[in-house]
Amino acid sequence: MRYLEDLEKICKINSFTQNKKGVDRVGNQMREWLEEIGFKTEVHERALIGNHLLFLSPKTEGEKILLLGHNDTVFPEGKFEEFREDDNWVYGAGVCDMKGGNIVALEALREIYRENGKIENIDFLLVSDEESGSDDSKFLTLKIAKDYDYCFVFEAGGENLEVVTGRKGVGTFTITVEGRASHAGTSYTKGINANLEASYKLIELTKLTNLKVGTTVNVGMINGGIGANTISPSCELKVEIRYKSNSERDRLLKELNRITDKSFVEGTKSTLDGLIQRDVMEPTERQIELISKLEKITDTKILTEQRGGVSDANHVSSCEVVTLDGFGPFGDGDHTVRERALKSSFNSRIELMSKILTYHQKHKKIV
């Protein structure tokens, strides 16, 4: 299986998001392979992170497909750069998240090229900063998404090779509380305790969680005060919100502002900073229609699931492009030194995507 040799080659290259040189090495290797099968490369150069790469095929009449992946991984240099395999699994940084998925897409494209001698109406975007939130690449993704009818994303598949139809939206915020310092022993009543205010806000923020509808609000970090003998003059709360619908997003944003503006401790003042990093990917009827057609094309039952984690599928979906995620191999242990991917799932995924793209190349449409 040549593609496992290719996977080993790129997994042994450290591509921590902040390691521009390593991310670009992975990108250049993918570029070499994709240009061998007729793609033209549009390089979006970046100074501090890896370059984003958009691989373009010739265009004709018919539906356009975007394949989407990322080259970066989460471990700094020297932490986790091995690759090994046994009878059933491959192990290494990115084997399932998501260099393994990129290889699935590459190998499916190779099969199309071997069969037809050309590829049309399919582009492949590989970004360099997904693991840090896609703060830079999301603008490129959102800009080009409107040019496509469908998007297939190659994050890891589910345990039963489910594809992903929904992902939560996520936002990260900081609430900064200002109080007034004073000596906790001699001037206790002259102080305004920012930490106390933060504690009230923590309780109110936690109340926003509604597990029945998939909403979570987590105050993951609190930093405040000077010492035990000083009334705290300031405090920060780091807050993450996750939600499964636009209505929940709107409710949370309204409540974040309300809780920030309200002073539970007289004299405190608070400010709110932050943003929605990736908006929600909600399941749609158009996805159901697409999956039904894909099942007929591939003669395969396609299982689906929704996930609490996010990916760049969130961005494309927000542009009303019919988007399905999870076309990579099944694996687990991602973001740990135990990351692995199931060998048999590569075969299944490559076969599935090859059938889909073969049909598209023949008919220049799917639905």
Mean pLDDT across the chain: 97
What's the CA gap between 292 and 336, in Å, rounded? 35
% of the chain exceeding 70 in pLDDT:
100
Q: In this model, does residue 157 exceed pLDDT 80? A: yes
User: What digits encode the pLDDT tens for the residues 133-142?
Assistant: 999 999 999 9
In the chain, the number of structural domains is 2
User: What digits encode the pLDDT tens for the residues 229-284?
Assistant: 999 999 999 999 999 999 999 999 999 999 999 999 999 999 999 999 999 999 99
Both 134 and 7 in one domain: the answer is yes
Q: DSSP of 49-72, one letter per residue?
A: SPPEEEEE----SS--EEEEEE--
Both 59 and 118 in one domain: the answer is yes
User: What digits encode the pLDDT tens for the residues 22-35?
Assistant: 999 999 999 999 99
User: What digits encode the pLDDT tens for the residues 299-341?
Assistant: 999 999 999 999 999 999 999 999 999 999 999 999 999 999 9
What's the CA gap between 276 and 256, in Å, rounded? 12
Q: In this model, does residue 362 exceed pLDDT 90? A: yes
Note the pLDDT of residue 266. Answer: 98
Last residue of a domain, one of 278, 296, 318: 278
Both 33 and 160 in one domain: the answer is yes
Q: In this model, does residue 1 exceed pLDDT 80? A: no
Last residue of a domain, one of 244, 259, 278: 278
Both 31 and 52 in one domain: the answer is yes
Both 101 and 177 in one domain: the answer is no
Both 126 and 207 in one domain: the answer is no
Note the pLDDT of residue 356. Answer: 98
Q: How confident is the model at residue 96 (pLDDT cuts 50, 70, 90)?
A: very high
Residues whose CB falls within 8 Å of the CB of residue 147, separated by 6 or more in sequence, listed in order: 64, 66
Last residue of a domain, one of 235, 252, 278: 278
Q: Cis peptide before 30, with omega less than 30 degrees from 0?
A: no
User: What digits encode the pLDDT tens for the residues 100-129?
Assistant: 999 999 999 999 999 999 999 999 999 999
CATH code at 269?
Answer: 3.30.70.360
Both 183 and 142 in one domain: the answer is no
CATH code at 130?
Answer: 3.40.630.10
User: What digits encode the pLDDT tens for the residues 222-243?
Assistant: 999 999 999 999 999 999 999 9
Range of the domain at 182: 169-278
Both 298 and 160 in one domain: the answer is yes
Instruction: Report strand pairing: 40-44 vs 52-56.
Output: antiparallel
Both 89 and 152 in one domain: the answer is yes
Both 235 and 155 in one domain: the answer is no
**What Å distances lie between residue 200 and 114, 191, 248, 259, 361, CA to CA?**
63, 17, 22, 9, 59
Both 144 and 40 in one domain: the answer is yes
DSSP single-letter state for residue 262: -
Both 133 and 199 in one domain: the answer is no
Helix (H, G, I), strand (E, B) or coil at 75: coil
